[in-house]
Structure 1
Amino acid sequence: MSFEGSTLVDWPAFSQARAELGAGFVRILGYFREDGVKSVALIEAAMRSLNAAAMVIPAHTLKGEARQFGAEPLADLAEAIETIARDCLEMQDTPEEALEHIVNLRPLFDQTLTLLEREANPIIARKPAAGGFGRRAVPTGFGED
C-alpha cells in the first residue's frame, strides 16, 4: 500500500488540530508517535496469535489518534482492523481476514508519521539543498565555477 504524501494527511484538519492544541501540539504529536508504535506492535502480535480481542483496543486507539491529526487513510485502516476484530469476537472466529490490512499498517503508520513530524518541525525538513544565502552553489557543469 503506497500513498502520495498529499493524500496521507488532510492538511486542513492537521492545521486545525495544530491551532486548537497550541503549545501542546508537539508534545501531543509525540504521544501519537509513542502510542502508535505500541498500537501497531500490539495489533501485529495479536494477529500472530490469532487473538481478535487483543486487536480491538489498540486499533480503536490508533484510529482515534490518527483522525485527530487528519491522518485519514491510517485511521480508516485502523478502523477496518477494529471492525474485523469486533466481528470475529461476535462470530467467535479468528481474524485471518485482517491479515492484509495488518501487513499494510506499519508502512502506512511510518509514512504518515514522517509527514506529520516533518510538517510539525519545518525548520529541519526544509533546509536549502545547495546555494542560498551564505552558501556557495556547487558547480554543475562547464563554465559554472
Structure 2
Amino acid sequence: MPGGRETLVSFEGSTLVDWTTFSRSRSELGAGFVRILGYFREDGVKSVAAIEAAMRAQNAAALVIPAHTLKGEARQFGAEPLGELAEEIETIARDCVESHDTPEQALRHVVRLRPLFEETLNLLEREANPLVERRPASFGKRPLFEN
C-alpha cells in the first residue's frame, strides 16, 4: 500500500477507523447500528475465510465477491485501511480473471487481511459498546486529566 500504511500501528484506532464516518453511520443507522455491526462481524469473518480459501486454491474469480463485500461493509463503518486492502485484493483478482492468470500477487495482501480485520473489528465493537468507559475529553492541546 502506498506510504507504508501496512506498518502503521493504531493509536487508539486513529489510523484504522475514520471516527467521523463511524459516527455518521451510527447516527444514520440509529437503533439498528449494533445489529448491523454484528452483521459486519458475521459477513467479515465469512469474507476473510472465503478470500483465504480462494487464495489457497489460486482461484482469482472466487476472490472477487468476498473482497468486494468486505470493501463496502468496511467503508460503511469508516474502516478505510481495511476497505483499501479489500479493494486491492478485488482489483488484483479482477485483473487476473480478465487475463486468465492466477492471483499470486494478491498473496501479500491476503496475508495482512485477517489481522487487520480483527484489529479493526475490535476497535469498532469497543467503540460501539455502551458499557465501555470512555477516555476523558480533552480541550485544546492539554488533556483535562494527566497521569
Shorter-chain TM-score: which interval? 0.7 to 0.9
TM-score (norm 1): 0.85
Alignment of 1:53-132 (within 5 A): 53-123=61-131, 125-126=132-133
Question: Which residue number in structure 2 is paired with residue 139 of structure 1?
Answer: none
Does residue 21 (structure 1) correspond to residue 29 (structure 2)? The answer is yes
Structure 2: runs of 5 or more not aligned: 1-5, 136-147
Structure 1: runs of 5 or more not aligned: 129-145
Matches of 2:15 and 2:24, distance apart in 1: 17
CA shift at 1:126, angstroms?
Answer: 2.1
4+ runs deviating over 4 angstroms:
none
Report the secondary structure of 1:8's partner residue: coil
Counterpart of 1:38, as a letter, is K
Residue identity (%): 76
Instruction: Note the aligned Cα RMSD (angstroms).
Output: 1.4
Alignment of 1:132-143 (within 5 A): none
Deviations 1:36-78 (A, max 9, x none): 0000000000000000000000000000000000000000000
Deviations 1:64-107 (A, max 9, x none): 00000000000000000000000000110000000000000000
Report the secondary structure of 2:58's partner residue: coil
Return the index of the structure with the highest Cα Rg.
1
Question: Which residue number in structure 1 is paired with residue 139 of structure 2?
Answer: none
TM-score (norm 2): 0.83
Question: Which residue number in structure 2 is paired with residue 3 of structure 1?
Answer: 9
Report how many residues are paired: 127
CA shift at 1:127, angstroms?
Answer: 8.1
Matches of 2:58 and 2:127, distance apart in 1: 37
Counterpart of 2:66, as a letter, is P
Counterpart of 2:47, as a letter, is S
Matches of 2:120 and 2:94, distance apart in 1: 25
Counterpart of 1:126, as a letter, is E
